Amino acid sequence: MKYDICIVGSGAGGAPIAYELSNAGYKVVVLEKGPNYREEDFSKDEVAVSRRDLYTPLLKDERHVINDREEDGSVTRYDGKEYSWSFWNGSMVGGSSNLMSGYFHRMKPDDFRLKSKYGKIDGANIVDWPINYDDLESYYTKVEEVIGVSGNTVKHKFSEPRTTKNFPYQMLEVSGVTKWFDSTCESLGYESIPTPRAILPHSALDRKGCSYSNFCGSYGCSTGAKGSARAALLQMCDAKIISDAFVFKLDSTKSKITKAHYYDKELKHKTIEAKIFVVAAQAIESSRLLLNSKNEYFVNGLANNSGQVGKNLIFSAGGIGQGRIRFEKLTKEQQRELMQPGLFFNRSLQAWYEFKAKDKKYKGGTIDFLFEHANIISRATREMYDENGELMWGKKLQKKMHKNLTTSRVLTFEVFNDWLPTDYCNVTIDDKAKDKFGVNVGAINLYSHPHDIEVGNHLAKKAKRVLEEMGAEEISVSISSAPPPNLVAGGCRFGNNPKTSVLDLNCKAHELSNLYVTDGSFMPTGGSVPYTWTIYANSFRVADVIMDELKV
């Protein structure tokens, strides 16, 4: 069968197009590298997720090569399978959206004009987006309604414009500790805001509501409450989904993609033909696919006569911090509130989305606060060392573990700020390493601009102050240049100039009339929020563009 649309990848970038086009009556096929799980396949198995590669490929079969660049220019090559260094983040129908925590913040108007608002930064390839916030606003709203976003809007200094007054779904139930947090922030002059979540508080949209297990991040949702691309879109549409299908090459003429080649679960070679092809395989893998798809018209890889495919890879800069709240300083009622099981924390700070330092305006970011993950293995391993950093054993370890797990709780925070694109952070093809399919693997060339750390540390100091004022102990902060593999974008940035971008403003390749790229690859900069909501919104926008094209 020849399809109207062939989509490579089924996550937040591909699923909205499958949903919209198939429900409009077009023939849509989705090729997904991983298996097709459903709600009944997900469990809270701590060992499987903490100690096994349950939802990602085995590195002995499929790895990356990482070239890590230091500030002095030296580069160290790491083979992912030897160093257990993975950039896979959810190989299954629905992609990594199945495993997200669902922290949903919109990008703000200034995120779309980073260069014109804050100016050039030496060593960073900052550009303004070819679209603006207003172009995405209605699609952010659509995501709220179709994916299901819960929350409560609170007006604050850096609130983004909205056409709707509030979120369509009420806030999730929160712990009593949020009251302490809110009052602490008020005393410090900080604006505390409820964190929007892509989680349904009750049954809606033909999905069940949240069960408050608190196993969100890294776990699939067994109720369907979490707004994954699978639960919210692919299970609600008529697209044909072919799972366990690894697309390794696209064929093209000088102006069009003609065919997608893939291996099925038995490693049999198959092909798909379609009028329009959409690549949404995750930023690293999308660049890898295009770079591996060389032919006589594109000797450096598809859509890459400009040499821009794979360039300007970005992650989310920032880091994490934590502090422990103990019983000793609390009333009986506060102790009860601290140990309430399951309830969310859901508080954020955006008071420093822009800040001034050294007589200069800086683009800042977002700080999300949350309780430590409910997984008992990660919580227990936190207790394995004594005050001198020595490994503990036996009764001493048992006593410490029991006390800390029953009479204290760890409150954590995550800092999100811009990872500036540079010449040194990109995706290429390693000429030596191949995966189990015999295909050359992606080489991830890493470099973090020093500016990222400077901004991250400024935000972390503010978060640390809140923990201190709340009476937390054992406070620690880690702002580093280590890239989070679940927050990756860039590589096929969109723009108006074909010489400096891969895609046009509608995410269509400048050089191929029927190729779109709609995962995070299109993003020239990432803003200071998690990417998923923006990827969803842009994909719904591109779906409308494709729909109009097919009607002609």
What are 226-252's pLDDT values in tens digits? 999 999 999 999 999 999 999 999 999
SS3 428: strand
* 1 pLDDT more than 80: no
Three-class SS string for 43-82?
CCCHHHHHHCCCCCCCCCCCCCEEEEECCCCCEEEEEHHH
SS3 491: strand
Residue 366 tokens read as 């977002």
| Cα dihedral sign, 297-298-303-308 | negative
Own/partner contacts of 163-168, CB < 8 Å, gap of 24 or more, are 163/137, 163/138, 167/196, 168/144
Looking at residue 436, its amino acid is: K
Instruction: Sketch out the chain's domains with CATH numbers.
Output: 2-551 (3.50.50.60)
* 50 pLDDT more than 80: no
CA 302 to chain centre: 25
* 51 pLDDT more than 80: no
Q: What is the largest CA-CA distance in the chain?
A: 74
The per-residue pLDDT of the chain, averaged, comes to 96
Q: What is the pLDDT of residue 49?
A: 78
As to burial, measured by CB atoms within 10 angstroms (0-12 exposed, 13-18 middle, 19+ buried), residue 359 is exposed
SS3 443: strand
Q: What are phi and psi of 136, to 5 degrees?
A: -105, -15
Q: What is the pLDDT of residue 235?
A: 97
Q: What is the pLDDT of residue 359?
A: 87
Angstrom CA distances, 25 to 5, 145, 357, 485, 499, stand at 11, 22, 54, 36, 36
Q: What is the pLDDT of residue 239?
A: 98
* 113 pLDDT more than 90: yes
CB atoms within 10 A of CB 507: 27
Residue 380 tokens read as 């227990």
Which of 524, 30, 506 lies closest to 277 in space, CA to CA? 30
Run of H or E including 147: none
* 5 pLDDT more than 80: yes
Q: Per residue in 452-505, pLDDT tens?
A: 999 999 999 999 999 999 999 999 999 999 999 999 999 999 999 999 999 999
Angstrom CA distances, 447 to 77, 114, 137, 428, 450, stand at 13, 20, 32, 14, 9
Question: How, if at all, do strands 269-279 and 2-8 pair?
Answer: parallel
Do the Cβ atoms of 523 and 537 come closer than 8 Å? no
**Given the structure tokens 């092809």, which residue do they identify?**
277
Average the pLDDT over 314-330 and give the result: 96
Q: What is the pLDDT of residue 53?
A: 78
Counting every residue, how long is the chain? 552
pTM for the predicted model, two decimal places:
0.97
Q: What is the pLDDT of residue 378?
A: 87
Q: Per residue in 408-428, pLDDT tens?
A: 999 999 999 999 999 999 999
* 63 pLDDT more than 80: yes
Do the Cβ atoms of 243 and 35 come closer than 8 Å? yes
Residue 168 tokens read as 């369509």
Average the pLDDT over 10-15 and give the result: 98
Give the span between the Cα atoms of 51 and 62, in whole angstroms.
Answer: 18
CB atoms within 10 A of CB 237: 18
Q: What is the CA radius of gyration of the chain?
A: 23
CA 314 to chain centre: 11
* 54 pLDDT more than 90: no
Average the pLDDT over 283-302 and give the result: 98
* 98 pLDDT more than 90: yes
Do the Cβ atoms of 214 and 371 come closer than 8 Å? yes
Percent of the chain exceeding pLDDT 90 equals 92
Run of H or E including 278: strand 269-279
Q: What is the pLDDT of residue 52?
A: 72
SS3 434: strand
Q: What is the pLDDT of residue 368?
A: 98
Q: What is the DSSP string of 185-240?
A: HHHHT--EEEPPBSB-SSSBTTB---------TTS--SSS-B--HHHHTGGGS--E
Q: Per residue in 173-209, pLDDT tens?
A: 999 999 999 999 999 999 999 999 999 999 999 999 9
Run of H or E including 325: strand 311-326
Angstrom CA distances, 379 to 162, 215, 342, 419, stand at 39, 13, 15, 29
CA 208 to chain centre: 24
* 304 pLDDT more than 90: yes
- According to DSSP, residue 98 is labeled G
Residue 136 region by backbone torsions, left for phi larger than 0, else alpha for psi between -120 and 50, else beta: alpha
Q: What is the pLDDT of residue 377?
A: 87
**Given the structure tokens 């050294």, which residue do they identify?**
358
